[in-house]
């Protein structure tokens, strides 16, 4: 019933992709000749054309990530280049834009209208509808912005690589885990620490020499001063681009693709978080300061926080990650996760044997809703040499109906890098691995439970950027829920369930320092939102950051720091005027999760509502509306404080 995974997709990939792209273009030309155009005669087949390309591309890129080989290295860059070119060119075609405009004037139902409107917006954001000179200006600016972002990243990378701190022995890092130490260890028995995140974080957490911490902190916080100039240019171009496209500023322009109703709403939300979180953060700081005093640090500074907090955590929580390993045998966890999802949403996962997959360790499940097949899930959880690090979910097929009424089932992959079972020893996961798995499973169910007939709005397609992490963070919360852990967290040797006090430890560990963490992210998000309101000079940017810190932060960094020069998320990444998404989605997920938690987790009526209003609805409506339909009210920012143990 389901399409098998094409393990041979890399073979002749160039021939196939070229063919598909050229044939697609031919078909598109034919579609564009249709008059008059309607949703059914143009948009439906148009979407199918893009799905054909996507469904070819996903396995190829997937193989590159999970089965690195000589062939994949050769094939993937070529495929990526061609796919990128194809979609870039597609989004610049005025004839398609005009076709969509024509269809927008025909009679459409609400969902069809959203498909058309969303796509018109995408085209307009790339400037297709503008006069030639403006269009050219947009093109030039986009190129220039890409160049500036690239330069910003390069400057930051250079600055990161420039610095090294050498310790002749381990005198000051005695408490550092051996694994971290070994990464810094040099042949002459000395240790070198750099500004690369893993090295820097480990050093700041375990180095007991305050001066050394200060030295590396200073280096870290003053990286890439040459980025200051670029920030001005970037902000200026973003402002101009927004204005040409008809928006007041970049933040407003970006907001049109978000679920948050307006920039003001976002700012209000962030300010509310700051106000509500601050007393708790101050309390946390006081605890840190008190503990600091015991260590002889009277005036705790930013570069002391990680070090002191680690010691507090050790003393007060007694949290040792390894103690939890026996409770999280990977197969138990996977089974438990699927059991949990099945129980909660009244669905079934049926293991499928005898299907061809890219690795023997891959496990395949079919998802059944009301006993009918609906989607396929591929789990590839264990680390192996040929697999890229980290964990992710990727969607392959999308649930939809094509123009002829054929039903297409969805599919998705979860990939992780958990330790594989070896020599008869089981694969035991850290709890952080368990939350990772739950997180990715949240993305997966958002995609595969979709029942939306229009592919462009089905599953994770078309979901606003600030809502995409909602289901994943929602599910992640359950990895701390007793009633869920009961389903699978059993000692693999004895079968004994995880004791309640250990679950408490997990929760406390999660919540430790959560207020400071909340404020830190709120600070970044607010700065991002404000700085994108105009074409500020560097001095003004600095001023905004300081003002935000005054309002939000509980501990001010030293004057010499220039965090803005290394905030690549917004100046060189995809989060410009969108950094708040992390917190926004977290608010949605916290609010939804709390309702479940308070109702005793397995509440059929609540789960049905969540399924019907959120999970099965993809992007049929904005997440703002979908959430309202689910909860009967707006999301409550306080929920965020509650799930992090602050309220």
Q: Which residues are catalytic?
A: 440
The answer to whether residue 356 forms part of the interface with other proteins (CB under 8 A) is yes
Q: How far is the CB of 354 from other proteins (least distance, A)?
A: 6
The nearer residue to other proteins, 9 or 99, going by C-beta atoms, is: 9
Report the nearest approach of other proteins to the CB of residue 51 (Å).
Answer: 12
Burial of residue 629 (CB within 10 Å: 0-12, 13-18, 19+) is middle
- Using CB under 8 A as the binding rule, whether residue 15 contacts other proteins is answered as yes
Minimum CB–partner distance for residue 460 and other proteins (Å) = 21
Question: Using the rule CB under 8 A, is 85 a contact of other proteins?
Answer: no
For residue 637, what are its two tokens? 């920012």
Which tokens go with 312? 């507090």
Q: Are 410 and 393 in contact (CB under 8 A)?
A: no
In terms of phi and psi (left: phi > 0; alpha: psi -120 to 50; beta: otherwise), the region of 93 is: beta
Tell me what percent of the chain is helix, strand and coil, each rounded to the nearest 5. Answer: 60, 10, 30
Residue 27 or 486: which CB sits closer to other proteins?
Answer: 27
State which of residues 244, 352, 391, 502 lies at the interface with other proteins (CB under 8 A): 352
Residue list 369-388, contact with other proteins (CB under 8 A): 370-373, 376
Asked if 5 and 358 count as a contact pair (C-beta separation under 8 A), the reply is: yes
Within residues 265-284, the interface with other proteins by CB under 8 A covers none
Nearer to other proteins, 368 or 594 (CB): 368
Which is closer to other proteins, CB of 19 or CB of 499?
19
- Interaction of residue 355 with other proteins, rule CB under 8 A: yes
CA distance 133 to 139: 10
Nearer to other proteins, 89 or 140 (CB): 89
Options 176-184, 348-356, 548-556, 601-609: segment touching other proteins (CB under 8 A): 348-356
Q: Per CB under 8 A, does 298 bind other proteins? A: no
Binding residues for other proteins restricted to 409-468, rule: CB under 8 A = 409
3 binds other proteins (CB under 8 A): yes
Decide if residue 7 touches other proteins (CB under 8 A). Answer: yes
Considering only 21-29, 74-82, 102-110, 596-604, which stretch makes contact with other proteins by CB under 8 A? 21-29
Which helix or strand (DSSP H or E) is residue 591 part of? Answer: helix 581-598
354 binds other proteins per the rule CB under 8 A: yes
- For residues 626 and 618, what is the distance between their CA atoms, to the nearest angstrom? 9
Q: Is 18 in the site for other proteins (CB under 8 A)?
A: yes
CA distance 277 to 229: 34
Conformation bin of residue 12: beta by default, left when phi > 0, alpha when psi is -120 to 50: left
Interaction between residue 81 and other proteins (CB under 8 A): no
- Considering the rule CB under 8 A, would residue 4 count as an interface residue with other proteins? yes
E strands in 519-647: none
SS (H, E, C) 417-456: EECCCECCECCECCHHHHHHHHHHHHHHHHHHCCCCCCHH
Closer to other proteins by CB, 364 or 554: give it.
364
Applying CB under 8 A, the span of 280-288, 401-409, 540-548, 587-595 interacting with other proteins comes to 401-409
Site membership for other proteins, residue 1 (CB under 8 A)? yes
Give me the count of residues in the chain.
647
Phi, psi of 602 (to 5 degrees): -85, 70
Degrees (nearest 5) of the Cα angle 276, 584, 265?
75
Identify which of residues 348 and 613 has a Cβ nearer to other proteins in the complex: 348
Closest CA to 119 of 52, 61, 27, 50: 50
Among 304, 329, 366, 395, binds other proteins (CB under 8 A): 366
First to last CA, the chain: 49
74 contributes a contact to other proteins by CB under 8 A:
no
> At 555, phi and psi to the nearest 5?
-135, 125
- Total residues at the site for other proteins (CB under 8 A)? 42
Q: Which residue has the tokens 């034919």?
A: 30
- Binding stretches for other proteins (CB under 8 A): 1-9, 11-12, 15-16, 18-20, 22-23, 25-27, 52, 56, 348, 350, 352-356, 364, 366, 368, 370-373, 376, 406-409
């Amino acid at each position: 019933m389901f399409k098998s995974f094409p393990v041979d997709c890399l073979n002749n990939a160039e021939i196939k992709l070229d063919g598909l792209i050229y044939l697609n273009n031919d078909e598109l030309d034919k579609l564009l000749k249709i008059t008059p155009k309607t949703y059914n005669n143009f948009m439906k087949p148009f979407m199918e054309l893009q799905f054909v390309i996507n469904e070819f591309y996903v396995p190829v890129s997937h193989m590159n990530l999970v089965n690195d080989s000589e062939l994949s290295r050769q094939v993937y860059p070529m495929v990526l280049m061609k796919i990128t070119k194809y979609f870039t060119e597609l989004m610049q075609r005025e004839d398609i834009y005009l076709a969509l405009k024509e269809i927008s004037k025909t009679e459409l139902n609400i969902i069809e209208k959203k498909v058309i409107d969303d796509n018109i917006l995408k085209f307009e954001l790339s400037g297709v509808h503008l006069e030639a000179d403006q269009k050219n200006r947009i093109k030039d600016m986009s190129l220039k912005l890409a160049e500036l972002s690239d330069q910003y990243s390069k400057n930051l990378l250079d600055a990161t690589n420039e610095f090294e701190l050498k310790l002749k022995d381990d005198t000051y890092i005695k408490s550092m885990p051996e694994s971290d130490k070994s990464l810094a260890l040099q042949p002459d028995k000395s240790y070198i620490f750099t500004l690369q995140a893993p090295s820097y974080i480990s050093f700041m957490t375990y180095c007991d020499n305050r001066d050394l911490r200060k030295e590396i902190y200073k280096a870290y916080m003053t990286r890439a001063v040459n980025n200051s100039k670029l920030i001005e240019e970037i902000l200026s171009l973003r402002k101009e681009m927004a204005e040409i496209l008809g928006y007041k500023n970049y933040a407003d322009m970006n907001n049109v693709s978000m679920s948050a109703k307006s920039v003001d709403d976002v700012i209000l939300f962030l300010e509310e978080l700051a106000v509500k979180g601050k007393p708790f953060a101050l309390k946390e700081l006081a605890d840190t300061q008190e503990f600091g005093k015991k260590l002889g640090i009277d005036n705790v500074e930013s570069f002391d926080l990680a070090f002191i907090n680690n010691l507090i955590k050790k003393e007060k929580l007694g949290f040792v990650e390894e103690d939890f390993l026996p409770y999280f045998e990977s197969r138990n966890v996977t089974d438990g996760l699927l059991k949990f999802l099945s129980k909660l949403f009244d669905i079934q996962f049926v293991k499928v044997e005898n299907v061809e997959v890219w690795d023997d360790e891959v496990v395949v499940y079919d998802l059944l809703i009301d006993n009918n097949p609906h989607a396929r899930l591929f789990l590839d959880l264990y680390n192996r040499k040929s697999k890229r690090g980290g964990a992710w979910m990727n969607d392959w097929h999308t649930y939809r109906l094509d123009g002829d009424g054929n039903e297409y089932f969805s599919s998705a992959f979860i990939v992780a890098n958990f330790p594989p079972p070896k020599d008869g020893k089981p694969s035991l996961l850290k709890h952080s691995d368990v939350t990772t798995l739950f997180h990715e499973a949240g993305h997966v169910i958002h995609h595969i439970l979709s029942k939306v007939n229009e592919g462009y709005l089905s599953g994770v397609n078309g979901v606003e950027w600030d809502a995409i992490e909602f289901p994943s963070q929602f599910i992640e919360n359950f990895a701390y829920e007793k009633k869920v852990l009961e389903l699978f967290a059993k000692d693999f040797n004895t079968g004994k369930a995880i004791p309640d006090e250990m679950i408490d430890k997990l929760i406390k560990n999660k919540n430790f320092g959560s207020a400071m963490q909340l404020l830190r992210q709120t600070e970044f998000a607010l700065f991002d939102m404000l700085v994108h309101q105009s074409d500020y000079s560097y001095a003004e940017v600095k001023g905004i950051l300081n003002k935000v810190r005054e309002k939000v932060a509980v501990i001010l960094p030293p004057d010499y720091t220039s965090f803005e020069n290394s905030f690549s998320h917004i100046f060189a990444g995809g989060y410009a005027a969108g950094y708040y998404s992390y917190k926004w989605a977290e608010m949605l997920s916290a609010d939804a999760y709390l309702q479940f938690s308070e109702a005793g987790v397995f509440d059929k009526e609540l789960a049905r509502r969540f399924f019907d209003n959120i999970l099965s609805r993809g992007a049929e409506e904005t997440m703002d509306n979908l959430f309202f339909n689910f909860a009967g009210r707006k999301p409550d920012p306080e929920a965020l404080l509650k799930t992090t143990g602050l309220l």
